[in-house]
Structure 1
C-alpha cells in the first residue's frame, strides 16, 4: 500500500470567528500620503515665526533690544508727563494722557502743557535717529550725521530766513526742508559722492554747515528784534511751545519715511562692501544712495522745522543702537527709538535741573554730546579714501 506524498506545509489559515483577533499578526496599512518634511531648527540667536506654510527668522538680539528701548521710552515719557513745577502722580498722568479723564488741573497740565512736548520729542528724536543711522551707513563713517554734514545748519538757516520774512505756521517746515536739501546737494556735489569718499564727504559737510551757520547768524543780526526773538529758538533747539502744525507734518512724514528707512536699511547691507561687490550682488548703487539721501534729508529737515538743530542726537542714537543690537542688519528702528529716548531725556533734564529756569534741550545735548564727540574722534579710525 503506497502512502501519499507529503506536501510542504502552507501558510496557516487565517482564523475565523471570535478567535480572529487573538494572536493574529496585524497587517500594515498603506500610507495615506507623503510624510511632511521635518521643520529645521532655528539657527542660534534667532526666533522662528511660522504661520501656515510660511516661516520667518527674526534675530533675537535686535528684537529684545527694540523691546527694551520701547519700554525705556514709555517709562521716560511717563516721567516727563509727571515731573515738573506742578507734580502729577504717574497713574493720574497716564489716565489724563491716554483716557482724557481726571481733575481739571491734571488735564490742563498733562494735555495742554506736557503732552505736546512729549509728542514733539518722540517724533523729533525718531527722525534724527533714523536719519543719522542712514547717513552713517551711507557714507561708511560713524561721524557723518545730519549735524556734521551741514543738513541741520542748512535747515536752520532757511527756517530762520522764513520766520524773519513771513512768520507763518507752515513756512518753517517748507523752508527747513529746502535748506536741508540745498545743504545735501552742495555737500554731495563738492565731495564727489557719499560712497567711497566718506571722509571727504564729512569734511565738505563741515564746511557747508559752517557757511550756513554764519548765514543764520547774519540774518538774526540784521533782523528786527521781534523777528529775531521769534527765530532764536531755531538756533539752539528746544521743545517748548512748538507749533502743533509742524509736529503733525513731522508725524505724517515719519509714517512714510520710517518704513522706507527700514527697507532701505536692509538694502544698505550690500553697501558695506565696495561698489563692485554691491553691483555683483544685484544692487543698484546710485538709485539706492539717492533714496537714502532723500529720506535722510526729509527726516532731518522736518525735525529741525519742529525743534531746531538738536545736536548729537543723530550721532549718539545710532551708536547706542548698534551696541544694543550687535552686528547684523542696519538698526534703523532701534536708532529711532534711541533717538526718541535721548531727546525726551534731554528735555526732561532741561526742564527740571534748574527749575523754574528752563534750559533748552539743544544746550543739554551739546553739553553732554560734546565730550562724547571728542571721545569718538579720538577712538574712531575714519576711512580715508582719496
Structure 2
C-alpha cells in the first residue's frame, strides 16, 4: 500500500576507472576524477623531484644529496649553499618552467591541429621568436627587450603560418608545410643577421639560436613563471573543449563548443607560452614533441593530458640540461643540442608509426 513516502535515491556509482567526489545521489554537484590520471601525474611529479635532486647534486663539483637538501634550507657549508642556491637552483627553475611551457604549448597545438607533428617548433613559431629576439640582441634597429621581441616574433610567425594555410585552417598537412616554410625563412633571417655583426656580438646571440639555459634572464624567468601559471589555469579550463576538438568540427559544434573562438584562444595561448619560453632559453627543439608523447603514452585517450604533458616537458628539459652539463664536463653542451639528438629519432618513429596514437 502506497503511504506517500518517496523511495530513497540510490547512490550513483562512479564509472569504472573514476572516483566520484561530492554528492553521490545525483541531486547536487559531483566531480569525477580519473584514477589513472592521478597515478600518472603523481609518478611524473616524483620523477621530476628525483631528477631535480640529481640536477642540484651533479656537476663539475658533485654534492651529496643530503647536503643539497640542507643547502636548500640555507644550512650547511656556505660554499655548498652558494652553489645550490645561486648557481644551480635558478637554472633548475628555468629548466622546469621552459620545459613545461614548451610541452604545454605543444600539446595545445597538436590538439588544435589534430596532428602529432604540429608543435610550435616544427610550424615555425620557435624560429619566429628566435629571429626577433636575436634582432634585439644584435641591435638591428630595435631596442625592445628580447622577451618582448620574442613574443612579437612568435605572433608574427603564427599569423603568417595561419594565413598561408588559408583553406585548411589549422587542420591537415598544409598547415604543417606552411609552418615549416615560415620557420625556414625566419631561420635564414637569423643566420643573415648573425653573419653581418662582429664575432663578439654573434657569440652573445649564439645561445638564442641553439637553445641554452646559460642565457637566462632573471626578469624573463619570472615573467615565464607567471605566464606558465596563468596559461596552465586557462588550459585546464579549456580541457573539455580540447577533448571535444579532437573530433570533427561538426561534432564539436553539436556538443556546444564555439569552435572558432576556442581555436583562436588555444592558438594565442600556445604562441604566448612559446614566446615566453624562447625568451628564457632560446628555441629548445623537440621538447614540445617529446613531452606530449610521453604524457599520451602514460595516460588514457579519454582526455587531453594537460598536466601530464607539462610535467613531462619539465622532466625532459631538466634531464637534457643535466646530461649537457655532465656528459663532457667541464665542456658544456647546450640543452638544445641534447634535445635535438634525442628528439630526432623520436620524430622518425612518429613518422613511421603515425597510427599508434591520436593528438
Does TM, scored on the shorter chain, surpass 0.5?
Answer: yes
Q: CA 1:196–1:354 in 2, change beyond 3 Å: closer, same or farther?
A: closer
1:158 lines up with 2:132 in the alignment = yes
Please, which moves more after superposition, 86-95 or 334-343? 86-95
Which residue of the partner structure matches residue 47 of structure 1?
19
Q: CA 1:35–1:107 in 2, change beyond 3 Å: closer, same or farther?
A: farther
Contact map agreement 2:211 2:337 (CA 8 A) in 1: yes
* Aligned with residue 10 of structure 2, among 29, 32, 38: 38
- CA offset at residue 226 of structure 1? 2.1
* Aligned with residue 333 of structure 2, among 352, 359, 364: 359
Contact map agreement 1:169 1:245 (CA 8 A) in 2: no
Q: CA 1:88–1:150 in 2, change beyond 3 Å: closer, same or farther?
A: same
1:103 lines up with 2:77 in the alignment = yes
SS in 1 for 2:76: coil
Q: CA-to-partner distance for each residue in 1:51-97, whole Å, 9 max, x for gaps?
A: 79543110111111011000100000010011111122112212222
Contact map agreement 2:244 2:252 (CA 8 A) in 1: yes
Contact map agreement 1:163 1:172 (CA 8 A) in 2: yes
SS in 1 for 2:214: coil
Which residue of the partner structure matches residue 160 of structure 2?
186
TM-score, normalising length: structure 2: 0.93
Q: CA 1:381–1:50 in 2, change beyond 3 Å: closer, same or farther?
A: closer
Which residue of the partner structure matches residue 251 of structure 1?
225
Contact map agreement 1:134 1:265 (CA 8 A) in 2: no
Separation in structure 2 between the aligned mates of residue 354 and residue 273 of structure 1, nearest angstrom: 46
Separation in structure 2 between the aligned mates of residue 85 and residue 57 of structure 1, nearest angstrom: 48
SS in 2 for 1:49: strand
TM-score, normalising length: structure 1: 0.86
* Aligned with residue 65 of structure 1, among 40, 47, 59: 40
Q: CA-to-partner distance for each residue in 1:113-133, whole Å, 9 max, x for gaps?
A: 100111000000010010000
1:1-386 paired onto structure 2 within 5 Å? 36-50=8-22, 54-97=29-72, 99-165=73-139, 171-192=145-166, 195=169, 197-380=171-354
Q: CA 1:188–1:282 in 2, change beyond 3 Å: closer, same or farther?
A: same
Name the count of aligned residue pairs.
Answer: 351
- CA offset at residue 276 of structure 1? 1.8
- CA offset at residue 194 of structure 1? 6.2
Indicate the RMSD between aligned Cα atoms, in angstroms. 2.2
Contact map agreement 2:135 2:142 (CA 8 A) in 1: no
- CA offset at residue 332 of structure 1? 1.1
- CA offset at residue 168 of structure 1? 11
- CA offset at residue 328 of structure 1? 1.1
Separation in structure 2 between the aligned mates of residue 348 and residue 194 of structure 1, nearest angstrom: 41
Q: CA-to-partner distance for each residue in 1:1-50, whole Å, 9 max, x for gaps?
A: xxxxxxxxxxxxxxxxxxxxxxxxxxxxx99x867523222211011223
Separation in structure 1 between the aligned mates of residue 19 and residue 94 of structure 2, nearest angstrom: 34
Q: CA 1:127–1:196 in 2, change beyond 3 Å: closer, same or farther?
A: closer
Q: Which has the larger radius of gyration?
A: 1
Separation in structure 2 between the aligned mates of residue 215 and residue 121 of structure 1, nearest angstrom: 27
- CA offset at residue 101 of structure 1? 2.2
Separation in structure 1 between the aligned mates of residue 8 and residue 246 of structure 2, nearest angstrom: 40
Please, which moves more after superposition, 260-269 or 336-345? 260-269
Separation in structure 2 between the aligned mates of residue 153 and residue 257 of structure 1, nearest angstrom: 21
SS in 2 for 1:338: helix
Contact map agreement 1:117 1:239 (CA 8 A) in 2: yes
SS in 2 for 1:58: strand
Contact map agreement 1:169 1:246 (CA 8 A) in 2: no
Contact map agreement 2:210 2:334 (CA 8 A) in 1: yes
